[in-house]
């Protein structure tokens, strides 16, 4: 860290690379880096260094924030977010990916960073559209965290047409990028009627239904994100519920309502079916035709979580059917 403060430019560049490697998989070294005040001189290199030095500095900052809240706080204290955004907008392809990853780390577990991250959203959306596959994954992950419980960030994402960019990544991105984009869409549409509408116009519901209809081809986490997005898109939104019916989306959701389904996925699926039926008779009819017994089995299973059983009970009540007769 001392060389970062006093060394010649090439020495600083080499020191940044060495630090990035040393703290990458070592918690003790990350703690030592933070305690030595390493974030501030690393930001100085990000501001004044050449492209290679900037890449090294951004890598070090990304690694420094892994499981280290103090480094995240130091980055914000020393006005690091504008420098990361500058790298996001004008850095090399690798630098842009690294900047998106560092921004993701800076806001992953800290609600206080939401307003700081807001200014990065246009750059993150631009990266979704034109970045490398790896950069798109990092950008989608950063947007996933940025939209958690932040109405202003959700509106900013909408303003810069970020919803359609997320849907495009879900259509054609890598598996990991699609997972992060699905989670970002789910978070962006939670309690946001504007984003629900934008997602419908971007054909998100059909894209998500296509994913859920082929669960064998999806990683478990990706499937969870897709189902959570469908749930959030349908909450208190009659138009989206009707669109789900048009896409035939209830039937594949009902196929997930089995006790052997992963608990988190089962909760999301039961919630999605419930929310899809609140204002849509076509979806209620699909449940009556194809899913009443499966839903009742969830209600009657004491081994399931209270939330799963609550959602299942809500479905039974809203489709207005008596419990099926025992065999």
Token digits of residue 294: 């499966």
Token digits of residue 63: 């690694």
Token digits of residue 308: 């799963």
Q: Which of 81-85, 124-128, 198-202, 265-269 has the lowest mean pLDDT?
A: 81-85
- Residue 326, number of CB atoms within 10 A of its CB: 4
Contact 245, 200 (CB under 8 A): no
- Predicted confidence at residue 216, as pLDDT, reads 72
Residue 55's nearest CA partner among 64, 45, 44 is 45
How far does CA 276 lie from the centroid of its chain?
Answer: 22
Instruction: Measure the CA angle with vertex 301, ends 322 and 187; round to 5°.
Output: 90
Specify whether domain 1-106 bears CATH 3.30.420.40: no
| Alpha helices for 202-280 (secondary structure H) | 204-212, 220-234, 238-246, 250-254, 263-277
Residue 26 has pLDDT above 60, yes or no: yes
Q: Which of 47-61, 173-187, 213-227 has the lowest mean pLDDT?
A: 213-227
Average of pLDDT values for 12-25?
A: 91
> 161 in the Ramachandran plot: left (φ > 0), alpha (ψ -120 to 50) or beta?
left
Q: Which of 2-6, 45-49, 51-55, 111-115 has the lowest mean pLDDT?
A: 2-6
Residue 67 has pLDDT above 90, yes or no: no
Residue 154 has pLDDT above 80, yes or no: yes
Got the DSSP string for 89-137?
HHS-HHHHHHHHHHHHHHHTT-GGGHHHHHTTHHHHHHHHHHS-HHHHH
Average pLDDT, the chain: 92
Q: How many residues does the chain have?
A: 327
Percent of the chain whose pLDDT exceeds 90 = 78
Average of pLDDT values for 76-80?
A: 90
323 pLDDT band, cuts 50/70/90, is low
- Residue 11, number of CB atoms within 10 A of its CB: 12
- Predicted confidence at residue 115, as pLDDT, reads 85
Please tell me the distance from the alpha carbon of residue 100 to that of residue 78, in angstroms, as a whole number: 18
Contact 85, 55 (CB under 8 A): no
Helix or strand run (H / E) with residue 164: helix 162-172
- Predicted confidence at residue 3, as pLDDT, reads 72
297 or 217: whose pLDDT is higher?
297
DSSP secondary structure letter of residue 324: P
pTM of this structure: 0.90
**Residues in Cβ contact with 235 at an 8 Å cutoff, skipping those fewer than 6 apart:** 190, 191, 196, 275
Residue 108 has pLDDT above 90, yes or no: no
Average of pLDDT values for 81-86?
A: 92
Sorted by where each begins, the domain ranges of the chain are 1-106
327 pLDDT band, cuts 50/70/90, is very low
pLDDT in tens, 157-194: 999 999 999 999 999 999 999 999 999 999 999 999 99
Q: Which of 94-103, 111-120, 194-203, 225-234 has the lowest mean pLDDT?
A: 111-120
Residue 211's nearest CA partner among 268, 161, 263 is 268
Average of pLDDT values for 99-125?
A: 87
Cα 193 to Cα 18, 78, 235, 236, 267: the distances in Å are 47, 36, 9, 9, 22
Residue 322 has pLDDT above 70, yes or no: no
Residue 101 has pLDDT above 60, yes or no: yes
Residue 71 has pLDDT above 60, yes or no: yes
């Amino acid at each position: 860290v001392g060389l970062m403060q006093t060394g010649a430019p090439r020495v600083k560049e080499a020191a940044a690379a060495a630090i990035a490697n040393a703290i990458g998989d070592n918690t003790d070294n990350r703690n030592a880096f933070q305690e030595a005040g390493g974030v501030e001189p690393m930001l100085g290199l990000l501001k004044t260094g050449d492209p290679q030095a900037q890449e090294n500095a951004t890598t070090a900052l990304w690694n420094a924030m892994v499981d280290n809240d103090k480094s995240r706080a130091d980055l914000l204290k020393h006005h690091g977010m504008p420098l990361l955004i500058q790298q996001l907008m004008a850095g090399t392809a690798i630098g842009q990916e690294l900047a998106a990853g560092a921004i993701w780390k800076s806001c992953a577990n800290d609600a206080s960073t939401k307003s700081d991250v807001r200014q990065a959203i246009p750059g993150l959306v631009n990266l979704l559209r034109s970045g490398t596959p790896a950069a798109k994954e990092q950008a989608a992950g950063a947007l996933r965290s940025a939209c958690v419980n932040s109405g202003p960030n959700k509106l900013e994402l909408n303003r810069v047409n970020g919803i359609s960019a997320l849907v495009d990544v879900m259509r054609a991105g890598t598996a990991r990028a699609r997972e992060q984009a699905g989670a970002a869409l789910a978070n962006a549409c939670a309690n946001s009627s504007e984003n629900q509408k934008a997602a419908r116009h971007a054909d998100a519901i059909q894209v998500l239904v296509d994913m859920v209809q082929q669960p064998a081809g999806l990683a478990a986490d990706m499937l969870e994100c897709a189902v959570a997005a469908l749930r959030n898109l349908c909450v208190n939104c009659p138009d989206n519920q009707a669109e789900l019916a048009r896409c035939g989306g209830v039937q594949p959701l009902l196929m997930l309502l089995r006790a052997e389904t992963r608990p988190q996925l089962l909760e999301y699926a039961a919630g999605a079916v419930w929310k899809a039926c609140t204002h849509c008779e076509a979806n209620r009819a699909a449940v009556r035709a194809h899913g009443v017994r499966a839903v009742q089995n969830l209600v009657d299973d004491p081994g399931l979580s209270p939330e799963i059983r609550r959602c299942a009970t809500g479905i039974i009540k809203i489709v207005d059917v008596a419990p099926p007769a025992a065999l």
